[in-house]
Amino acid sequence: MIDLQFIQFLLSAAIRMATPVALGAIGATFNERSGVLNIGIEGMMLTGAFLGAITAFYSGNPWIGVVGGVLGGVLAAALFGLLTIYFNGDQVVVSVGLNLLALGATTLGLSLIWGNRGTSDWLPGLPQVTIPLLSKVPFLGPILGTADPIVYLTWIVVAVSYYVIFRTPFGLRLRASGEHPTAVETLGLDVFKLRMLTVLISGALAGLGGVQLSLGQLNVFTQNMTAGRGFLAFAANQFGQWNPIGAYFASLLFGVTEALQMRLQGFTLAPQLLQMIPYIVTV
């Protein structure tokens, strides 16, 4: 007999856990469409999670933390864009360097601010939002009716991103800068500026995803708390065929596997084996 309560728990957790991956994947979609290979989503997400935690901790306001996290992602993206787009640095090498820099800097920040290399103090978290009509829908209510605000904001981001990329003149120029940059330049447009803008957009989205981890899910910042979600986001973008909608549903697949491995931790299985599940799916 099918356990509906288990399915509801699994899908609800999957949507929540897929959110940072989805935001990073949509950011990667903007990059890929403009001709930028960005594997630094991990570093941008980790920077956003950390700066979001700091600003929320000192201000006592999680919404200020959200702004801080988004700005953190944008700053990391600006560094990546400056080195790769304007200084012609190798995009893969710079991405790896950015990821390592973010990991080292946030670990150091944990030690300096909270005197702890592992976990921060408790942070003011984002409130849970309940949508009255949706929460009363049979079966779907417990799955979709209550979540943190960034989960619902991500749905809006998916729709807006799809419209911008495929239904606007800006989206046409963005896609052309990735497929035929010379044609874009003949129109008098600056391909470098278009690509830099998409990198900054990806940084903002990755930073927002990081904030959802530190202030929406855990209410603490932990060392390397992204744990490869930026790489999962890059994989979700590829699997979703460089389409925001496809990237979101690919992220849901990873969210289901992560929720499943958490649910299975009550069984007598090696926890390390369970933690491998999302990454095995990625491969």
pLDDT tens digits, 102-138: 999 999 999 999 987 789 999 999 999 998 888 888 8
Compute the mean pLDDT over every residue in the chain, rounded to the nearest whole number.
91
- Which whole number is the average pLDDT over 5-32? 92
Give whole-number Cα distances, 180 to 29, 168, 184, in Å: 17, 17, 7
Question: What per-residue confidence (pLDDT) applies to 168?
Answer: 95
Beta carbons of 14 and 259 less than 8 angstroms apart: yes
Beta carbons of 78 and 200 less than 8 angstroms apart: yes
Q: Which residues make Cβ contacts (< 8 Å) with residue 139, sequence separation at least 6?
A: 4, 8
The lowest-confidence range among 50-64, 169-183, 192-206 is 169-183
Q: Which residues make Cβ contacts (< 8 Å) with residue 182, sequence separation at least 6?
A: none
- pTM (predicted TM-score): 0.93
Strands (E), 59-209: 129-130, 146-147
Nearest alpha-carbon partner for 95 in 170, 45, 158:
45
